[in-house]
Chain A
Amino acid sequence: MRALVVDDSRAMRTILKKILMEVGFDVAEAGNGIEGLARLKEVDNIEVALVDWNMPEMDGLEFVKAVRADHTYADMKVMMVSAENDMTKVARALMVGADEYAMKPVTKEIILEKLDLMGMQVPQ
């Protein structure tokens, strides 16, 4: 199983990477949306992307839009992991194609439960 973590905070990437690796994912990282799109081209078969909202260069919402416009990634699940906790933001993320939304701060349980909601088989 392969995952991509897109977040401009190195600390946040480390936390999410650790959670995902503990349940068996190989994890690629990117510091913004543009780097995220580049990783997707470099690494095959990424099943899920965890994406922050506010990032330099290209934010998470633009990343999700770009991913959903490319049928190559039609099967990839996308979870926004963001400090944005306004309901209109959550609704907007879903509208552009995010499958799930987790509000920071997150715990391992929250991330695993969201992966389960997206139909991913991970040990809880």
Chain B
Amino acid sequence: MSTIAPADFTYLKDLVQREAAIVLEAGKEYLATSRLEPVARTEGLDGIAGLVRALRTDSTGKLRNKVIDAMTTNETLWFRDSHPFETLRQELLPGLMEAKKVTRTLDIWCGASSTGQEPYSIAMMLKDVPQLDSWRIRMVATDISLTALDRARAGKYSQMEIGRGLPAKYLVRYFQRVGPDYQISNELKSMVDYRQLNLAATWPPIGEFDLIFIRNVLIYFKQDVKTQIINKAERLLRPHGYMFLGSTESLLSTPNNLERRQLGKTTCYTPKKG
């Protein structure tokens, strides 16, 4: 891997901070290099230096979007941490279904859906609950990266990707082999509405939700941006709803109107009552 000139790193750091509110601290040069060298190669540019030169004169914004994509698309897996999904199904869903028994609807938002593994994991888990068969389930999945959203919509995954945390019973039930890849079923694809949303910018109207997942993404933001995101998200959470963060994320330093609930290994948040 080549090195990155300090001026080029500063330019990229400012770009991702401005466009995606992502903090690229000093010492993270390797991250920029490993993520952006493939972009430079694909674009036929002369390494990171050539990429930064091209970005400075990028009038269409296309190259800038590719850089943001590369810097924000992160490793994702099926049923990440596994316990939040179990807790939701076994401990929270019964009460939630009781609260929604009149409308028989569930509205769910995945705020950093990446290439689709999280929303599809939730969809698979919900399909295991026969009482929900006749319910209307609306799942909105958003991400900043158009490339990730396209991949999520396509629902086609490599063998290595389906190896990461996907229970074999779901592989058999919901996937078909297509060449070297595995294609998720239309049944699951039709449950998820993928849209672009930059958590750090102004949000388009996406509705209110019974369940919100903003997992493993807040760690990339500075505290003030994180607070803004949580405060906006909590306004979209219905009174009986639950919000899930990543297992290493917490709201300890984030002013909020949420009540923390600890259920076994799972932490979730619900609107403060009264």
Measured CB to CB, the residues of A under 8 A from B are: 85-87, 90-91, 93-94, 98, 100-103, 106-107, 109-110, 113, 116-117
Contact = CB atoms under 8 A, between A and B. Distances in A.
Nearest to B182: A87
Contact of A86 (B77, B79, B177): B177
A93 B172 CA distance: 11
Contacts of A109: 164
Name, among B82, B168, B176, the residue most crowded by chain A CB atoms within 10 Å (CB to CB).
B168
B165 A113 contact: yes
Name, among B77, B82, B163, B169, the residue most crowded by chain A CB atoms within 10 Å (CB to CB).
B163
Contacts of A102: 163
A101 B177 contact: no
Nearest to B167: A117
A114 to B, nearest CB: 8
Name, among B82, B169, B175, the residue most crowded by chain A CB atoms within 10 Å (CB to CB).
B169
Nearest to A113: B165
Given A87-B175, A116-B82, A117-B79, A94 B169 contact: yes
Interface in B94-151: none
A91 B168 CA distance: 8
Interface residues of B, number: 16
8 contacts: A101-B168, A109-B164, A110-B163, A110-B164, A113-B164, A116-B165, A117-B165, A117-B167
Contacts of A107: 163
B159 interface: yes
A106 B77 CA distance: 15
B159 A85 contact: yes
A90 B172 contact: yes
A103 B163 contact: yes
Nearest to A85: B159
A117 B82 contact: yes
A6 B172 CA distance: 24
B171 interface: yes
Q: Give the top 8 A-B pairs by smallest Cβ distance, nearest first.
A: A101-B168, A113-B165, A91-B172, A110-B163, A87-B177, A117-B167, A100-B168, A90-B172
B167 A100 contact: yes
Given A110-B163, A110-B164, 12 more contacts: A87-B172, A87-B177, A94-B168, A94-B169, A103-B159, A103-B163, A109-B164, A113-B165, A116-B82, A116-B165, A117-B79, A117-B167
Contacts of A101: 168, 171
